[in-house]
Amino acid sequence: MSFSGHTQKAIKRPFQLEALLSPQVPRSNYLHFQEEKLRLQLKKLLLHRMFLVAKTTANTEKKDITEYYEQAFQSILKYHLGETVTGLLLIYPTSILHILESSSGTLYRILLDYVNREKNEREFFIQGMKIIVMSHNIPTRIFMQWYVSVIKVPVMYLDDVTQSQSLEEVVTEFLTQTHKLALYIFKTVKVGTKGPGDNLHQLVPELLLPEQIIKYLCKSEEFLNPETFLNMFNKPIHITLDSEVVWPAPSRF
């Protein structure tokens, strides 16, 4: 009897050891949660958002502008794989308002392509472009795709606000209205659809900027054009140390 008792104890020990060695359920924490969230968002690059305004030549059609940008995006995508461009292009009768979201390298090439076209073509249909704001390292995209909308009819206004407001007030209104419009599109336009369409002037006329503000910003010298911006971007930064301006120059051993 005692032999059988010892046998039973010997049999139980391997099972107890196996239970201790069995894989345990991993415990997660808040850090792991945040890392997983970033991984799921596929945030492989820093995002930037750029606001542009420009004038268009007479008889410029929507097809001309959209085809130009779509070809530019496809060409740039060969060098910047996975860095898609999202945003909104509003085409007014004689001007455009363009919001772009992508990496710094992609936005740089978009500006560079415009500068080359403006220099090489006798009369490029997009002229007088100005960079109003460039927001760096934005947390997320507002636009899920790149949308194009034509403002078919001009919106009537009682007075020209650019005559009574300062430049700071005009820029504040510009950014406020564009962000409100962006949030409206984010909430109403489903992913995969063509976009808000060409009837924004009927759906949300109160969110559309007057074209006179866009023209006013195009004329303002306070904002950089793409060529000047790129020259500053490519210019190296030289820092003069105090030791470099001391005379006689310090000797080094």
Question: What are the pLDDT digits (tens) for 134-168?
Answer: 999 888 899 989 999 999 765 555 456 677 789 99
Domain presence at residue 121: yes
Domain presence at residue 133: yes
Query: Average per-residue pLDDT in the chain?
Result: 81
Domain presence at residue 20: no
CATH number, position 55: 3.30.70.100
Which of 52-56, 82-86, 218-222, 249-253 is the least confident region?
Answer: 249-253
Amino acid type, 71? Q
Domain presence at residue 27: no
Q: How far is residue 244 from each of residues 227, 235, 236, 240, 249, measured CA to CA in Å?
A: 32, 21, 18, 7, 7
Domain presence at residue 91: yes
Task: Show the beta-strand stretches assigned E in the chain.
Answer: 47-56, 86-91, 95-102, 126-138, 146-150
* Residues of the domain holding 107: 43-229
Domain presence at residue 138: yes
| 73, 80 contact by CB (below 8 A) | no
User: Is 0.85 topped by the overall pTM?
Assistant: no
Q: Tell me which of 50 and 77 has the higher pLDDT.
A: 50
Domain presence at residue 253: no
Q: How many domains does the chain have?
A: 1
Q: Express each pLDDT in 190-246 by its tens digit.
A: 877 778 888 898 889 999 999 999 999 999 999 999 999 999 888 766 566 665 665
Per-residue tokens: 217: 């910003």
Nearest-CA neighbor of 96 among 239, 209, 223? 209
Domain presence at residue 150: yes
pLDDT at residue 78 is higher than 90:
no
The pLDDT score that the predictor gives to residue 158 is 47
